[in-house]
Structure 1
Amino acid sequence: MALGLRSAIGSDVGRRRTANEDSGAAGDRLLVVADGMGGHAHGELASALTVAAMIDMDERLPADASGLDLLAELTAAVDDASARLAQHAQTDPDTQGMGTTVVALLLDGDRLALAHVGDSRIYLCRDGALTQITRDHTMVQQLVDEGQITPEEALVHPRRSVLMRALSTDHPVEADLEFLDPRPGDRFLLCSDGVTAVLPDQAVLDVLAAPTPPEVAVDQLITLSNDGGGPDNITAIVADVVEASEVAPHPLRLVGAAAEVRS
């Protein structure tokens, strides 16, 4: 069965930041969120360049990509993004050290491919249950995996935002890649940590499981994140999996720094 994505996207600077270093894009088959690293120079440029690399990959693909390896295409796009960051740093030394996370979903027919680097996340809401699909590339997640701290301790750990893996100007990075098994009725959330650092899983589930359109869910996630203090930029994509015949083509939607760079 050919599947489609009915999606909505939104981004907000939050309550404590003066600029939005997040970028996001939502198209007919590509969804991507990138969170520029705020502790480094020009995080907004890093996220925008990364989203641009993903968009260029999508635009190069044929309408029917059934004969292509989607994971290889996503790998090439991540490599392209890393190369763009490195090249920009060579021409503008002030941007040396900029970095970003990235999460992306790419749909073709009934195949849904995922790429992930950093601590932006992808969740699946299915049959009223929430599953975190990605695993954070952070120091505290590594400590949890090694049994040194509990997941509850990780939530308040002073170094919970320290990344072990991210796209940067320094060297190429290996993305986590996998195929998912989408079903009509599934709802996916792609988001920066401006959402997940504030909202517990139950609050995310309450929003995603409600019978509301993706646009409403995105607005609610942004509002709740701001109500919780809005300590960081907030970007979210909510996408419902439906039969392809139920989705009308729509123009690519850009938010955050990616929208500002392209405008």
Structure 2
Amino acid sequence: MLAMCDGFGTVDGEPIAQTTLRALHSAMGARARGARFSNTLSRPKSVASMLISTLAGVNAYLYRRSASHDDYVTCGASMSVILLVGNRAYLAHVGNTAAYLSRSGYMISLTKDDSFVFDVPTGGAVAVSAHPPVLMRALGTAPQVELSVCNFRVAGDDAVVLSNKRFSGFEDRRALSGWMLHGRPPVDLGDRTVLVSRPGPAVQDNTAGSIRALGARPLGAGIIMFLLFMLLA
């Protein structure tokens, strides 16, 4: 399992990204130890339902601990989660993190952006607002959360990319894909943090392929985290 999380605010004095990832780790660990886990992984619909149920539980936990209510939201987290099972990947997403599939030199966007920014008119032109994006959906902001869920087949040469911010331009995505294919220097990531996973042998034996983190924020900073399970479907 790979997870990318970013957010605003704190839970019990801890950045919400760290709390969210810890809650996800605990919830998935409990499920992995269950007697039905292997059976669940053998059925695509069951895997999707498990992801939805797990993240719904994480959302409920965050909402309880954050003291948010209908009139005031204290924190919120964006998250993109990919679970690799054999040659299939299952994706659950909410917020403005992003997931991509790199295949044959193309970078395919797998998620939509659950946020918007205010455009500021400047004498007939429109400038991008300096304010941060406004999240329309996020973990921890309401008792229930609506998730985007899908699954897709992964080939041996594919790479899965998670980012705490979307790549808005085609050239940025093409440059990142070119780096993964040919080793060319990657696009300037700015303040993005990117997690790249090549499933490789995972397509055949359910073990992790290569994983690499790029960008300004290192592993353990509460923004990205990868969780690896031996998934014996």
TM-score, scaled to structure 1: 0.62
Q: 1:75 aligns with which of 52, 57, 61?
A: 52
Structure 1 position 109 matched with structure 2 position 80: no
Q: More strand by proportion, 1 or 2?
A: 2
1:256 matched to which residue of 2?
Answer: 221
Measure the CA separation in 1 of the matches of 2:81 and 2:224: 17
Contact 2:4–2:223 (Cα < 8 Å) also in 1: no
5+ residue gaps, structure 2, are: 120-124, 213-218, 226-233
Structure 1 position 236 matched with structure 2 position 194: yes
Q: More helix by proportion, 1 or 2?
A: 1
The percent identity for this pair of structures is 24
Q: 2:116 aligns with which of 127, 130, 139?
A: 139
The amino acid of 1:137's aligned partner reads D
- Mapping 1:115-130, distance limit 5 Å: 115-130=92-107
1:6 matched to which residue of 2?
Answer: none
Contact 2:6–2:223 (Cα < 8 Å) also in 1: no
Measure the CA separation in 1 of the matches of 2:224 and 2:115: 28
1:5 matched to which residue of 2?
Answer: none
The amino acid of 2:51's aligned partner reads L
The amino acid of 2:195's aligned partner reads I
SS at match of 1:58: helix
RMSD over equivalenced CA pairs, Å: 3.8
**How many residue pairs get matched?**
199
Measure the CA separation in 1 of the matches of 2:81 and 2:93: 7
Quick one: higher RCO (CA 8 Å, sep 6+), 1 or 2?
A: 1
Measure the CA separation in 2 of the matches of 1:129 and 1:259: 24
1:45 matched to which residue of 2?
Answer: 15
Higher alpha-carbon deviation: 59-68 or 124-133: 59-68
Compared CA separation, residues 123 and 48, structure 1 to 2 (3 A): same
Measure the CA separation in 1 of the matches of 2:95 and 2:49: 19
Compared CA separation, residues 207 and 55, structure 1 to 2 (3 A): same
Measure the CA separation in 1 of the matches of 2:50 and 2:63: 20
Contact 2:156–2:201 (Cα < 8 Å) also in 1: yes
2:215 matched to which residue of 1?
Answer: none
Measure the CA separation in 2 of the matches of 1:168 and 1:86: 4
TM-score, scaled to structure 2: 0.69
1:66 matched to which residue of 2?
Answer: 42
Structure 1 position 172 matched with structure 2 position 105: no
Compared CA separation, residues 160 and 205, structure 1 to 2 (3 A): farther
5+ residue gaps, structure 1, are: 1-29, 144-152
The amino acid of 2:221's aligned partner reads G
Contact 2:90–2:152 (Cα < 8 Å) also in 1: yes
